[in-house]
Amino acid sequence: MNVKILLPISLISLLLLGSCSLETSKNDDIKVIPHTEYTPDDSMIEKFKEMKQSADADQALHQTYKDLPIIDVHNHDASAMPLDYWNEYGIDRTVLFGNISEPAAQVTDSASWNHYIDHTDRIFPSFAGIPLDEENNMEFKKVMKEHLEQGYLNIGEIVAASTYSRLTSNLKWKAENPNWGNLPGLYELAEKYKVPVLLHIDPPKGAPIAHLKRALADHPKTIFIFGHGNVFNSPANLAKLLKNHDNLYIDFYAGFTRYDKGSSHKLEDFVPIIEKYPDRFMLGSDSGSGIGLSDGYEAMYEVLNMLAPETAVKVAYQNYERLIEIQPPTKTQIREIGKLTDKLNIQDKKYKLNKREANELLFQLQKQVENQTSAE
């Protein structure tokens, strides 16, 4: 679907009111039933085997696996929107944001949403413009509720700690550690809405990781994604975290390990830990930080080529896809569906939806309302 619209102003006025529990829409003839089950496509395992067996030695791996769905769970290109790159390298879906942990991120958060409307089948919108210091508690609550109710499907990248990164260590809204300021409240809302949280943490050792462990333990039902968790980190360190915390997932930046001169490991060093925890790894490009986006994407296929087929399809897309499909629709989405179906005189209709599907239905209904208005 490729529909260029904006959500109506009436939706924004309701954003602070809802939560994600089941609700009857304004149109009493319309029922929205949460549907949060996820069944992976097991046939993709055999398809992966066939792709690997028929590989041409002279062919780039992204061409070999062109029919394998790929989700890039960590992409900063809300401003650039490199759709040509995604098409060339077979990136089917992208968790899209831009700037992070600073006021400018609120602009790119909006850009992410607008790109989502234009390319609903290619993007999972994420938001990162969140003030974390307790002095901005009211704005924090407003931003969180508005975006989660509106339909954003991911939180982050959030700078939960940064000492050495030249890109993140001086950002205005960064946290001092993963338990600092409003972060506990963020984790509580993430749990309530079942939305994953992508965290930047550097260095990936010492006090920041001690605080991460505490956050994981204090919020066991919150879904945490350790952004570029392999960067300047070891398989052994990740193994300890994964063993003790079932709610932790790893955004694996294969491009760093494969192509960055600062990496002290090889891709094959991480294969045993990925195989041991096949449900907990996913792939992110970090938009090619330090190496370029082309190498970042090609490295994804290089690590997938090293994995067992059953593991590869999970890491390629199914692990993150599940985190999207289990999110229930919000009260605001349900109310807006009721309003729009009322305008269209749709009656006696039941919708069985998750949050993503509710977004897509809203875009479709809004377009129908616009067409109806134009025809009058």
Confidence at residue 12, expressed as pLDDT on a 0 to 100 scale: 35
- Is 3's pLDDT higher than 70? no
Strands of the chain (E only): list them. Answer: 30-34, 71-75, 93-96, 123-127, 154-161, 197-201, 224-226, 248-252, 281-283, 349-353
Of 353, 291, 281, the C-alpha closest to 318 is: 281
Confidence at residue 25, expressed as pLDDT on a 0 to 100 scale: 57
**Would you say 24 and 265 are in contact if contact means Cβ atoms under 8 Å apart?**
no
Confidence at residue 200, expressed as pLDDT on a 0 to 100 scale: 98
Q: What is the mean pLDDT of residues 58-82?
A: 96
How does residue 73 score in pLDDT terms, banded at 50, 70 and 90? very high
> What percentage of the chain carries pLDDT values higher than 90?
86
Confidence at residue 28, expressed as pLDDT on a 0 to 100 scale: 67
How does residue 374 score in pLDDT terms, banded at 50, 70 and 90? confident
Q: What is the mean pLDDT of residues 336-362?
A: 95
Residue 89, class by beta-carbon neighbours within 10 Å (0-12 exposed, 13-18 middle, 19+ buried)?
buried
How does residue 93 score in pLDDT terms, banded at 50, 70 and 90? very high
Confidence at residue 1, expressed as pLDDT on a 0 to 100 scale: 33
Of 308, 169, 314, 164, the C-alpha closest to 231 is: 164
Pairing between β-strand 197-201 and β-strand 154-161 as defined by DSSP bridges: parallel
| Sequence spans of domains, the chain | 9-36+331-375, 60-325
Amino acid present at 18:
G
Of 89, 108, 88, 107, the C-alpha closest to 98 is: 108
pLDDT in tens, 142-170: 999 999 999 999 999 999 999 988 888 88
Other beta carbons within 10 angstroms of residue 83's beta carbon come to 16
Q: What is the mean pLDDT of residues 199-220?
A: 98
- Is 134's pLDDT higher than 90? no
pLDDT in tens, 272-299: 999 999 999 999 999 999 999 999 999 9
Confidence at residue 186, expressed as pLDDT on a 0 to 100 scale: 98
Strand partners, 352: 33
pLDDT in tens, 215-240: 999 999 999 999 999 999 999 999 99
Residue 266, class by beta-carbon neighbours within 10 Å (0-12 exposed, 13-18 middle, 19+ buried)?
exposed
Average of per-residue pLDDT values in the chain = 92
Q: What is the mean pLDDT of residues 97-105?
A: 96
**Would you say 38 and 321 are in contact if contact means Cβ atoms under 8 Å apart?**
yes
Give this prediction's pTM: 0.91
CATH domain 60-325 topology: TIM Barrel (3.20.20)
Residue 19, class by beta-carbon neighbours within 10 Å (0-12 exposed, 13-18 middle, 19+ buried)?
middle
Q: What is the mean pLDDT of residues 35-62?
A: 96
Amino acid present at 176:
E
Q: What is the CA radius of gyration of the chain?
A: 21
CA distances from 268 to 18, 235, 248, 295, 303 (A): 46, 10, 22, 17, 8
How does residue 17 score in pLDDT terms, banded at 50, 70 and 90? very low
- Is 269's pLDDT higher than 80? yes
Q: What is the mean pLDDT of residues 27-35?
A: 83
Amino acid present at 327:
Q
pLDDT in tens, 239-268: 999 999 999 999 999 999 999 999 999 999
Confidence at residue 373, expressed as pLDDT on a 0 to 100 scale: 84
